[in-house]
Amino acid sequence: MQTVTRARHLRRDMTLPEVLLWGELRGGKTGLKFRRQHPAGPYILDFYCASVRLAVEVDGEVHASPDQLDHDRRRDAWLASRHVHILRIPARTILNDLANALAGIVAFALPHQPLHRPPDGPPPRSGEE
């Protein structure tokens, strides 16, 4: 429950690059449905698209520190073990070229989209995700 509470707090205190990117990702404008500050086990994903199992992480300056790099490696390994693709985008890229960053996200997601999705049917059964 602590992760969910933290995620709610992070949704209210997003960084400028996260706010800008969310403005473009929200509402399915890209053809993909994203969630922001999505809890995943002990971690919180900046943005998550469940249909392609894609986590988009906005990396600011703090991600260059050795401790943070080690944490990010462990986190990425944990997510990869659960078949989640991780796309890291430097915050500077979003601030300088939002359109290109958004195009990169869509290009990364396209090959991972399911071949078909049932129209508004029930969610998949356990093990069929």
Residue-wise pLDDT for 32-81, tens only, equals: 999 998 988 889 899 999 999 999 999 887 766 778 788 889 999 999 99
CA distance linking residue 41 with residue 77, whole number of Å = 13
For domain 2-110, the CATH superfamily is VSR Endonuclease (3.40.960.10)
Query: In this prediction, what percent of the chain has a pLDDT beyond 70?
Result: 81
Question: Global pTM?
Answer: 0.78
Q: DSSP states of the chain as a string?
A: -HHHHHHHHHHHT--HHHHHHHHHHGGGTTSS--EEEEEETTEEEEEEETTTTEEEEEE-GGGGSHHHHHHHHHHHHHHHTTT-EEEEEEHHHHHH-HHHHHHHHHHHHGGGS-S---TT-PPPPTT--
> CA torsion 106→112→115→117, rounded to 10°?
-70
